[in-house]
Amino acid sequence: MKEVQQIIDKNKEAVIIPDGIAVIGKDLKIIVFNEAASRITGYDEDGIIGIDCSIIFRGCTDDLKYIPESLENNRVFTNIAINITDKKGNIKNVLASITPITKENDVLSVVFVFRDTKEMLSLSEDLEERTLELIDQKNKLDAIFNSNIEGTFTIDHDWNVTSFNTSAEKITGYKGIEAIGKKCWDIFQSSLCRNGCHMEQTMLKGKSTIGNELEIMNKSGKRIPIRVNSAILINNKNEKTGAVETFIDVSEIKNLSSHLSEKFSYENIIGKSKELNQIITVLESVSQTNSTVLITGESGTGKELVSRAIHLNSAKRTGPFAAVNCSAFSESLIESELFGHEMGAFTGAIKTKIGRFELAQGGTLFLDEIGDLSIAVQTKLLRVIERRVFERVGGNKSIKMDARIIVATNKNLNEEILKGNFRDDLFYRINVINIHLPALKDRKEDLPLLANHFIKHFNNRFGKEIRQFSPSAFDILIEYNWPGNIRELENVVEHCFILCRTDTIQIEDLPKRLKTNIENKKSEQPPISTNNIQEAEKEIIISILKKNKGNRRQTADELKIDASTLWRKMKKYSIKYG
């Protein structure tokens, strides 16, 4: 009994326990009665010791039977609903357990543990009410945090991001779930990160900073100027727990003209591949000159987009941008389209027409598919580029050309020269700077960014809220060779938007040619051996287990299989992880 009392006393010191505990001897006398038992029954702990236990069952004699039954037959009762009577005569329903205390198979006493169901219900309701209050307060704080027009985030002592509001998501392109847990420099990627930035001053010296300006890089690789404030974070014990930063995007303040021409700026040339980064570097240099530029690449690779980017980042950006597709006109009409004509210059010329060279004065003239021009028109074009003057068809007045020329073609002009289809002297004139745009099949790593770009575009156009391609549908996009390049991808996404009825584009929404392409590839592939399939399955399970830090439940959910199935597969492949 002494040991039981010591355990009870120890629990009493540690915490106020909700369960009443009474130890009852073979003579049915109460030996131990804890504080919770006194609270529930109303009997004083010291006054009830040595009293027959029937005192707490008066008026409930049927429920007293469990005590002698346990004493005489060494029987355990668990979670039984019985009634007891408190000191004031009130009958209370309790949930009880009765456990014999034995020595060498001889029952010495029983431990009667009971819990007032009404009291527990009241405690549960009170706990639920307090929990709802806490949730309500948290929701209010979250609403305030996320409604802040400034990007706001916090970090701990180890520089890990611990919170990241909605404005921070919009400015950086990172979702909160992506940023939280990462080092702040992995998210912001400023040249000042870990190199004397404002946060270092705050963290190391506890010094707040106001109005610092720096440049960060968002998730898509775009550089963004921001203005920041930072301060130390202190908890309710006045201990430093990290730092907080607020920041705003000052791109518009820094460069309003760049903001207005955003549609065709370098940032609208979507991609992060090595080839595209090199092209953008060249564009930044080319835009500062008036040199003639030759853009080459397959149809649909975005040659006009690049030409507009050059124009809008050049000194002539305030001037017009005139574009003409040289393959869209017959030989008899292309001269008139380029140079204009005087009234009566030929049959049907009933009035004077201004050509594209004049329309582009003070700006940029973009000649697309220049490889389709006839030799005769090439000769006249060469003369214009060399002399910087031209005449309208049927006219004799020289007009000074004040336009930058950018040309583009999907043909190999060196081969066309060898075939006699293109003048080599014109080629040397236009090929001052050559920018070659790679085919989409050669920069598949840019496909996710391009697909997301077009999803956003068509969401605005169609008023839908499509989020993504399903993994299986996107696999088909990756496998496809894209002969029509980015233009074809845009058309495919539009096709999917017309058919898609959910927020995710599925295989059935794709054009038939893409699905046929993947089916043909599968039919050409040799059958995969069972061993290869099992090895692949094993690697996938290990990879996802590692990602979930050995948590089998999360791994099974991600694999969309039952936990027992995962266990069997782990046993089958001798996977010991976790």
Closest CA to 384 of 424, 426, 345, 432: 426
Whole-angstrom distance, CA of residue 245 vs CA of residue 265:
30
Give the per-residue pLDDT at 359: 85
Give the per-residue pLDDT at 314: 87
**Contact assessment for residue 331 and residue 319, using Cβ atoms and an 8 Å cutoff:** no
Beta bridge partners, 107, equal 102
The domains located in the chain, with CATH, are 2-121 (3.30.450.20), 148-254 (3.30.450.20), 260-438 (3.40.50.300), 441-524 (1.10.8.60), 530-572 (1.10.10)
Query: What phi, psi does 406 have (nearest 5°)?
Result: -120, 130
**Contact assessment for residue 439 and residue 482, using Cβ atoms and an 8 Å cutoff:** yes
**Contact assessment for residue 217 and residue 189, using Cβ atoms and an 8 Å cutoff:** yes
Q: Tokens in use for 508?
A: 């059935």
Whole-angstrom distance, CA of residue 94 vs CA of residue 553:
37
Q: Where are the alpha helices (DSSP H) in 500-529?
A: 512-524
Beta bridge partners, 174, equal none
Whole-angstrom distance, CA of residue 172 vs CA of residue 429:
43
Burial 162-183 (b: 16+ CB within 10 A, else e): bbbbbbbbebbbbeeebbbeee
**Contact assessment for residue 96 and residue 108, using Cβ atoms and an 8 Å cutoff:** no
- Contact partners, residue 133, CB within 8 Å, separation at least 6: none
Q: Tokens in use for 468?
A: 């993504």
pLDDT 10s per residue in the chain (578 long)?
444 444 445 444 434 457 899 999 999 999 999 988 998 999 988 889 999 999 999 888 888 999 999 999 999 999 898 999 999 888 888 889 999 999 888 899 999 999 888 877 777 777 777 777 777 666 666 665 565 668 888 989 899 999 898 888 988 999 989 999 999 889 888 877 777 787 888 888 888 887 777 888 888 888 888 888 888 888 878 888 888 888 888 765 554 444 334 444 565 678 778 888 888 888 888 888 888 999 999 998 889 889 988 988 888 888 888 889 988 888 778 888 888 888 877 777 778 888 888 888 889 999 999 999 999 999 999 999 999 998 888 888 888 988 999 999 999 999 999 999 999 999 999 999 999 999 999 888 888 888 988 999 999 988 999 999 988 888 889 889 999 999 999 999 999 999 999 999 999 999 998 888 766 665 555 554 556 677 777 888 888 888 788 888 888 887 778 877 888 888 888 887 65
Find the distance separating the first CA and the last CA of the chain, reported in whole Å.
Answer: 44
Give the per-residue pLDDT at 318: 82
Beta bridge partners, 109, equal 25, 101
**Angle ∠(171,176,178) on CA atoms, nearest 5:** 100
Which one-letter amino acid corresponds to residue 284?
A: E
Rg of the chain in Å (alpha carbons) = 40
Whole-angstrom distance, CA of residue 168 vs CA of residue 184:
12
